[in-house]
A = this chain, B = another copy of it.
Amino acid sequence: MTSYFSSDFKLAVVGGGQLGKMLLYETRKFDIQTRVLDPSPEAPARLAANYFEQGDLMDFDTVYNFGKEADVITFEIEAVNVEALERLQAEGKSVYPAPETLRKIQNKGDQKDFYTEKNIPTALYTRFEKLEDLKLSLTANQISFPFVWKSTTGGYDGKGVQVVRKQQDLDKLADVPCIAEAMIPFKNELAVIVVRNPKGEVKTYPVVEMEFHPEANQVEYVICPARIDEAVAKKAREVATKVSEAFMHVGLLAVELFQTEDDEILVNEVAPRPHNSGHYSIEGSYTNQFEQHLRAVLNLPLGETASKTGTVMVNLVGEEGYQGDVYYEKIQDILALEGVTPHIYGKRETRPFRKMGHVTIANSDLSKARAIAEKVKQTIRVITK
């Protein structure tokens, strides 16, 4: 059996942002040697890596040569050169999650087609090769306002997604391959993290509830467990498991879901990696999502996904109107609040809505945690000095 712990075994992580950084903490706990690749010399994950390389994640040679030196390769971001990962896999390296899954997920049209093919519930949609085709379809009454426009590639954190309510909104859309998706009147946006290892062992984390910032289309609060009926939670975990198994996924899969007005569960989209909706798990879960991802990609037994306590997670994003050297105004004040743990990602420069950190509030009384989260949000500001 491979010995990962305090050995010469090497794990490569493509991408060195905050997800990579938090994953790296866990590799330290296991004392696993790591290689990290990121375009930024100030990547948050740089410090805890045994070896750091600055390079373009979309460049075939860079990713291929970087991965070649490792035993297992994983990634913390979807925007990576898939061909290089495929080549590494073909040459016998373990690449988890699988490059073919990443390829499907990178293209939102292919992702939706996959759900349809696998009988996974998702909102109705139509694919278009260019903007003109979408307009023709509207004229022909094949689709109608309002709908959600999504660029099939390159979308991230609300970019590449637009709600289109009227004719003029069409002017904001880029002329790229896209989908038009039915707008779902939903009660809640939920997420379930599923973990699966190569042996096929699979577990789900509890359902979380996401509250979005109305303007930035970024998650503002993540509440665990979601305040929903047990039957709905059960259905959500079942649907998420189905998605993971359809992909024969290895590693974490974060499945974002809609709970419709009539309590249907629809898959919105997935991320094949640790996810913002699972940050609560560092404080809340018996095994946090980062350790869990590590266990999965190393084919170790999976850890417990249950929670030790209720949690609410607050994203810390750059305040509008500020750009430059970051300053966490009143962070001392939030440290005095009950059950608060801050996670500062280590980006020196803030800009509007940039993810700069998050704060977890742990409390056995979830409504108390939610109230403290509100206070955190109202107190701390990510600005410049």
Contacts and interface: CB of A to CB of B under 8 A. Distances in A.
Interface stretch (A27-35, A69-77, A218-226, A240-248): A27-35
B301 A335 contact: yes
A94 B364 CA distance: 37
Nearest to A385: B3
A328 B7 CA distance: 10
Contact of A336 (B49, B291, B301): B301
Contacts of A5: 328, 331, 342, 344
Nearest to A1: B332
A356 to B, nearest CB: 8
A364 B364 CA distance: 13
A344 B30 contact: yes
A327 B21 contact: no
Nearest to A299: B332
A111 interface: no
A295 interface: yes
Smallest CB-CB A-B distances: 3 pairs: A301-B336, A31-B344, A31-B346
Contact of A21 (B28, B300, B308, B385): B28
Given A332-B1, A335-B301, A341-B287, A28 B6 contact: no
A341 B254 CA distance: 22
**A interface: dominant SS:** loop
A212 interface: no
A346 B28 contact: yes
A348 B25 contact: no
Contacts of A300: 332, 335
Contacts of A291: 341
Contact of A3 (B29, B301, B328): B328
A341 B308 CA distance: 14
A291 B339 CA distance: 12
Nearest to A328: B5
B339 A304 contact: yes
Nearest to A34: B47
A309 interface: yes
A29 B288 CA distance: 15
A50 interface: yes
A88 interface: no
Contacts of A362: 286, 308
A170 interface: no
Nearest to A347: B6
Interface string A245-285: 00000000000000000000000000000000000000100
Given A3-B327, A328-B6, A347-B6, A286 B339 contact: yes
A320 interface: no
Contacts of A6: 326, 328, 344, 346-348
A31 to B, nearest CB: 4
A345 B304 contact: no
Nearest to A301: B336
